[in-house]
Each structure stands twice: as structure tokens, then as C-alpha cells.
A and B are shown apart, each in its own frame.
Chain A
């Protein structure tokens, strides 16, 4: 595949690994070791485990798998909300495949579908809008989740629904935003991170500017990265260069896709449709101020929260779950006592086992196979 295969060249990967080892051997970094780099995005976490990159990196370089998997951090009570809506006989409930397996307090959407609810997996929010147009007598709800990458698609679909007067289309909105969560992690005394691999596709939408404070106020290098092995290794090298030279800057390794300003048209659609919520809950991390969005009042008629008068009650993860510590880099996935026994991708107990982009699920899928 063009723009993908070139970035998987093993010979070049080997060169990058040699360079990384050389940087790590420099006196500056030896004195600071271990160097802890957080990859923010679940897509990076998945690539890192899929290609076994951790095992190839020097042992003094630790990768911390950050909070960037929107499916993993989806609180159980929101799945319960989805199930309550989907149980209404006149509703067709639609969402992305990733959301189907997330456990609520009793069930997943997949299980509810097997039990007879009309729940349909869609590839795009536009598909959900099309279902609404084809089924005018039914209420069609799209459960929108994800970071800034996905928000513009939902925003444009909402605008189309209004423009085409599709009045049986509703949005249940659980879009969240990554920057406030990075700030919360940086302010957390338990978290020690030396540098960040920044999210590629979120940045394609929001651009470089929103991360400026991480370099300026917190003095942490931040490199926006592509998702192939060479992208990730090159980003790590760029971060180490900054650490060796005592710099802290926001850089862009993924310049073939991420443009400095981001995508202005996408940003405008998001700003027109959504506003910040005071706070949003993140499974495994708790509540974080201004970290999620909801529909603006002008779109209230499409708001599923209003249409279905939702009143969710908080559902905590079992006390044994150590997801928060894994997210903060205090614990490796395999060190959790539930890993692979009480908590597996087929029956996840904690957030990070839920989606293939969660640190524990990625670790379970790839590293466990390696050792067999």
C-alpha cells in the first residue's frame, strides 16, 4: 500500500535502532536513565506491540502507553445509556464496530443485539444518517465517540441531518478531547514522563499549536508521529535528540499527513456543532475538566441525551482493576494481577483490555503469542 509499505522497511528500522542506542549511550541520557516516553495514541500502542518494538529498544528506554484509546476510556455508564436507548422498540441504534464490545454494567451492545435489539454497526456516521432517511418511521440514534479525529465527521453529519431536515436522526455524543487529559497527566505527581510521541490523526485535525504548552511550560519534547514502525522509531530518535541537546519543542515527524495548522475546515465544523462540557468522565482516570464536548443548543433537537432524558448512574470498575496505574506508567500490563486470568480481551474487567488499542489488550494479543 502506497504511503504505508515504504515506512516498514526492516533495514531502515535497524539503522534507526542503532541510532537510538547511540543516543541512549550518551552521557546526558545515561545520567537520566531510564528515559520514559509516553505514546499518547492507542494507534501507536497497537503498532508498538504489533511490531514488537519495545523488545528492540534499549532497556533503559521505557514506553508508557497513554490514554489515547477512546473505546477504553468510555465509562460503563455510557454503555448502559446506549443499551437503554437501544431497548426502545422504535429505535435503530448505530455505532462504530469498536463500541460494540465495550461492556456496560451488565451487557455489551453486541450481546443486546443478539438478544433482539436493532443495533447496527456503521462504518461512517453518514451511513447512520442514510439509515434514518430510509426509515422515517423509526428513531435512528448514532452513538458518536472518539477524539478530534472523528469529531469532524460527526459534526458534518449533524449539519447534513439539519440541512436535509432528517428529523428522526439523533446523536448520542461522547466525543472527547485529548489535550486537557495530557495536562491532567502532566500535573499528576505520580506520572513521570520525559517526552511524548504525539497523536498523528488527532493532530491532522487540530494542528501543532494546541501542544505548545507541553514544550513551553512543562519543558517536555513532543513529536507528532505516523503509525508505521519507521515513523515511530524516527519519532523516538527525534525526541532523544531534543533530550540530548536540552531542547523541548513540538515537532512533526508525520508531515506527509499533518499540516501545521491542522484541518481548518474540520475545525470550523466542530466549532459550529459542538461546545465543551464542564467535565467528562474517563474510565480508568476519573473526571477531567473540559475534556469532552456536547451538541450546541441550536442542535438540541438532535440531542439523544435530551430526547431520551438520560440519567446515568456512575458505574465504577472493580476495585482490583489497576488500569489507572498502567495508564500513568506505574505498572506494566503484565504486572496487573488480573492480566490474562481475570481480565482478557474476550472478557475484559478493566478499560485497557477492552479494545485492541488498549495497552493490556495489545500486550495480551501480541506478547502472549510470542512467549507461546
Chain B
């Protein structure tokens, strides 16, 4: 029910209603940006951003740096295990 899917903002469908086109695994759908667009900002400023989509709304800008950090931590775990072996 609280399922969220990562997708990339690839186009702006209607700037007035803050509607963007988001590509999720090759499928494009319209997504509302009201929760992730800073007040007064141009929706086009979010082109290329990855967002977490839930029931037609972008609910979070995905932080690529944080994703890398998490994976780096996990990779270090593996490197450490190799050293111990």
C-alpha cells in the first residue's frame, strides 16, 4: 500500500498544474510535483531528477549521493570480509 517506485523526470506535461512525465522502467506516466518542487520554482528545474513516486505524486527527490554512500558502506563490508579470509 505504501509502495513507492523510483522514476526519472523526463518532461514537463503541464507547468500550471505541476504535472511532469516520469519514466519508470521504460513506462512513462504523469506525476504531480507539488510535494517536491520548492515554492515558486520552475518545474523544468527538476528535469533529470529521480523521484520516488507514490499514487501519482512525486514524494521525495532521491539523493543519488546518499544511495552511493549506502552502497559504499556495504561494499566496504565485503572488502573487509575478503581481508579476513
A interface vs B, CB < 8 Å?
1-4, 6-7, 9, 11-12, 15-16, 18-19, 41-43, 68-71, 96, 98, 123-127, 145-147, 149-150, 152-153, 156, 199-202, 204-205, 230, 234, 253, 255-259, 263, 265-266, 269, 355, 357
Does A150 contact B77, Cβ atoms closer than 8 Å? no
The CA-CA distance from A278 to B8 in the complex, in Å, is 40
Contact (A41, B2) CB under 8 Å given A11-B78, A156-B32: yes
Does A202 contact B6, Cβ atoms closer than 8 Å? no
Size class of the contact patch on chain B: 35 or more
Does A204 contact B34, Cβ atoms closer than 8 Å? no
- Nearest CB of B to A308, in Å: 24
Contact of A257 among B25, B32, B52, B74 (CB under 8 A): B52
List the A side residues contacting B77 at CB < 8 Å.
12, 15-16, 19
Asked if B45 CB lies within 8 Å of chain A CBs, one says: no
The CA-CA distance from A259 to B71 in the complex, in Å, is 17
Does A1 contact B67, Cβ atoms closer than 8 Å? no
Does B56 contact A126, Cβ atoms closer than 8 Å? yes
Most chain-A CB neighbours within 10 Å: which of B55, B75, B77? B55
Within 8 A of A (CB), among B3-47: 3-4, 6, 8, 24-25, 32, 34-36, 39
The CA-CA distance from A253 to B8 in the complex, in Å, is 22
The CA-CA distance from A18 to B75 in the complex, in Å, is 14
Does A263 contact B60, Cβ atoms closer than 8 Å? yes
Does B60 contact A357, Cβ atoms closer than 8 Å? no
List the B side residues contacting A201 at CB < 8 Å.
2-4, 52, 54, 59
List the B side residues contacting A259 at CB < 8 Å.
60, 63
The CA-CA distance from A43 to B54 in the complex, in Å, is 13
List the B side residues contacting A266 at CB < 8 Å.
35, 59
Contact (A16, B70) CB under 8 Å given A43-B3, A256-B62: no
Does B55 contact A255, Cβ atoms closer than 8 Å? no
The CA-CA distance from A194 to B15 in the complex, in Å, is 48
List the A side residues contacting B3 at CB < 8 Å.
43, 201
Does B1 contact A125, Cβ atoms closer than 8 Å? no
The CA-CA distance from A290 to B71 in the complex, in Å, is 38
Does A153 contact B2, Cβ atoms closer than 8 Å? no
List the A side residues contacting B64 at CB < 8 Å.
256
Contact (A124, B67) CB under 8 Å given A18-B81, A43-B3, A355-B1: no
List the B side residues contacting A147 at CB < 8 Å.
1-2
Least CB separation from A164: chain B residue? B17
Does A269 contact B1, Cβ atoms closer than 8 Å? no
The CA-CA distance from A152 to B54 in the complex, in Å, is 10
- Nearest CB of A to B10, in Å: 13
The CA-CA distance from A204 to B5 in the complex, in Å, is 13
Does B1 contact A98, Cβ atoms closer than 8 Å? yes
The CA-CA distance from A258 to B66 in the complex, in Å, is 10
The CA-CA distance from A363 to B50 in the complex, in Å, is 33
List the B side residues contacting A200 at CB < 8 Å.
2, 4
- Nearest CB of B to A45, in Å: 11
The CA-CA distance from A265 to B2 in the complex, in Å, is 18
Least CB separation from B33: chain A residue? A265
The CA-CA distance from A265 to B1 in the complex, in Å, is 21
Does A153 contact B67, Cβ atoms closer than 8 Å? no
Does A42 contact B55, Cβ atoms closer than 8 Å? no
- Nearest CB of A to B68, in Å: 9
Least CB separation from A252: chain B residue? B66
Least CB separation from B34: chain A residue? A156
Does A124 contact B57, Cβ atoms closer than 8 Å? yes
List the B side residues contacting A123 at CB < 8 Å.
55-56
Contact (A149, B67) CB under 8 Å given A18-B81, A70-B1: no
The CA-CA distance from A41 to B3 in the complex, in Å, is 10
List the B side residues contacting A355 at CB < 8 Å.
1
Contact (A153, B56) CB under 8 Å given A6-B71, A265-B34: yes
- Nearest CB of B to A71, in Å: 6
Contact of A126 among B2, B32, B63 (CB under 8 A): B32
**Which 10 residue pairs of A and B lie closest in terms of their CB atoms, listed nearest first?**
A124-B56, A256-B67, A149-B2, A255-B66, A256-B66, A201-B2, A3-B6, A266-B35, A153-B55, A153-B57
